[in-house]
Structure 1
Amino acid sequence: MSSEFIIEVDHVRKSVVDATGELTILHDISFRLEARESVAIVGASGSGKSTLLAILAGLDKPTSGTVRLRGQDMFVLDEDQRAALRARELGFVFQSFQLLANLNALENVMLPLELRGIRDARAQATAMLERVGLGQRLGHYPRVLSGGEQQRVALARAFVQRPALLLADEPTGSLDYATGAAVMELMFELNREAGTTLVLVTHDRQIAERCERQLRIEAGRLVESRLADAPA
């Protein structure tokens, strides 16, 4: 497959079986994203947005279809191989921050670098925390950081690896409006600097319209793929 695309999604379907029978969560989803694109996945709660994001990350398997990350079919790999691929190519930002409570800010940001055997992990993590305005909070643990500060640590952890693809799931959902707006401004700045392909799930129309494209999901179907009105 062409290597010009960071992510290629072809005819992805996801279904589950429960006591009532088979439930299809995603129906025949296909799209491609190029390097440096910013894309918002939008739709009502329960439409399948987060399931699609989990499949893009290789954390959930589709029932059928393929997902290629930089030309690599993710689901011909075993779990360990997918984890290694994620470590090299993906960054994540979650609504609930997902910081490790027993690690301070610096250690949280160092962790993905250390797992890859990067020798100057401390220096890189320190520089990234300074970039997000937390140079004075390196030794602080998540419990003493505000929500906005925790999300800045999460951004630093995601971008410190300069991932090919950054996935963000409602990244401002736990923050007040002003803090969320500041965090999103920082995310878009970091994304431009790193040249990352950004895919974010959001209910916020203003955030969605800052992305170059919008993918609208309704009842598990991709019903619209369009350029946003006000690209970032």
Structure 2
Amino acid sequence: MLESILAVSKVCKSVEDASGTLAILRDVDFTLQAGQTVAIVGASGSGKSTLLAILAGLDRPSSGQVRLAGQDLFGLDEDQRAAVRAAHVGFVFQSFQLMPNLTALENVMLPLELAGRADARTQATAMLQRVGLGERLKHLPKVLSGGEQQRVALARAFVVKPALLLADEPTGSLDHATGEAIMDLMFQLNQEQGTTLVLVTHDRALASRCERCLTIQAGQLSEER
């Protein structure tokens, strides 16, 4: 039996606004096994990114439980959740989220350095070579194309060999051809490392590349068969 890496139980998220209480997520339940790939799809504003933030422990649910790598995320304090994220989770964002004053190499080295890895430079260099940026190590993000910046972001996410990769609209800022190349690379790296991938997207063609597809509608999650 495969190990469960992520278990979500009866997660609800509500916020207060001028008109009263707005329910963003309602009783979300699902479990992911190690190495699975899952897409979360839904219309803009359906709660996809909110759910992703909760899965990472970056946002708190109003109720419910998230267990990541066997730990109850919201039974931990903020520092403990940060430690769990550092140990188990990688992120890829639509807007790349690179540090603008760091070179490509320094951006990829950063999570390794934070983890106290003495081989940070060697590992980061190898990963940038793996994503086709061996000649761009010393370049700042501002002189890289969008596709190159997202390759740096992929290298940064995968260099720590995360158990879980959370990707939020990773091709949203890229043209179609570049986006296709980035997703090919993401799935290759994911398969090489055996990472569990959670991909938030509005792109049904992209979602179909995942083993499972979960849809959010009116705050409720359903699985397409």
Provide TM-score, normalisation by structure 2.
Answer: 0.98
Shift of 1:20: 1.6
In the TM superposition, what is the alpha-carbon distance from 1:3 to its structure 2 partner?
A: 8.6
Write the letter of the residue equivalent to 1:205: R
Q: 1:179 aligns to what?
A: 178
CA contact (8 A) 1:9 1:67 kept: yes
Match of 1:170 in 2: 169
Aligned-residue offset at 1:46: 0.9
- What letter is aligned with 2:104? A
The CA distance in 2 between the partners of 1:82 and 1:159, in whole Å, is: 20
* 1:49 Cα offset (Å): 0.6
Aligned position for 2:224 = 226
Output the amino acid matched with 2:224. Answer: R
Cα deviations across residues 152-198 of structure 1 (Å, max 9, x unaligned)?
00000000000000000000000000000000000000000010000
Partner of 1:214: 213
Name the structure 2 match of 1:130: 129
Provide, for residues 123-164 of structure 1, a one-character-per-residue CA deviation record: whole Å limited to 9, x for no partner: 000000000000000000000000000000000000000000
- Partner of 1:217, secondary structure, is strand
The question of whether the paired residues in 1 share the 8 Å contact of 2:165 and 2:197 is answered with yes
Distance in 1 (alpha carbons) for counterparts of 2:61 and 2:120: 35
- Counterpart CA distance in 2 for 1:83 and 1:37 is 23
Please say if residues 3 and 71 of structure 1, whose CA atoms lie closer than 8 Å, have aligned partners that are also in contact: no
> How many residue pairs get matched?
225
Structure 1 unaligned residues grouped into runs of 5+? 228-232
> Equivalent residue of 1:210, what SS?
coil
5+ unaligned residues in a row in structure 2: which ranges? Answer: none
The alignment status of 1:151 with 2:163, answered yes or no, reads no
Identity %: 72
Structure 2 counterpart of 1:85, which letter? V
Distance in 1 (alpha carbons) for counterparts of 2:164 and 2:108: 17
Please tell me the residue identity of whatever aligns with 1:50.
S
2:20 aligned with 1:21: yes
Q: Counterparts of 1:6-17 in structure 2 under 5 Å?
A: 6-17=5-16
CA contact (8 A) 2:43 2:202 kept: yes
> 1:45-101, CA deviations, whole angstroms, 9 ceiling, x for partnerless residues?
111111000000100000000000011000011111111110000000000000000
CA shift for structure 1 position 19:
2.2
1:74-153 equivalent positions in 2, closer than 5 A: 74-153=73-152
Kindly provide the CA deviation profile for residues 184-218 of structure 1, in whole angstroms up to 9, marking residues without a partner as x.
Answer: 00000000001000001001111100000000000
Q: Quote the residue 2:31 is aligned against.
A: 32
Cα deviations by residue, 1:20-43 (Å, 9 ceiling, x for unpaired): 211110000000000110000001
Output the CA distance in 2 between the equivalents of 1:174 and 1:221: 27
Q: Is the 8 A contact 1:46 1:219 kept in 2?
A: no
CA distance in structure 2 between the partners assigned to 1:203 and 1:30 by the alignment: 20
CA contact (8 A) 2:2 2:34 kept: no
**Contact persistence 1:100–1:108 (CA under 8 A):** yes
CA distance in 2: counterparts of 1:95 and 1:14, whole angstroms: 23
TM-score for both structures, normalised by structure 1? 0.95
RMSD, aligned α-carbons: 1.1
Whole-angstrom CA distance in 1 between matches of 2:224 and 2:121: 41
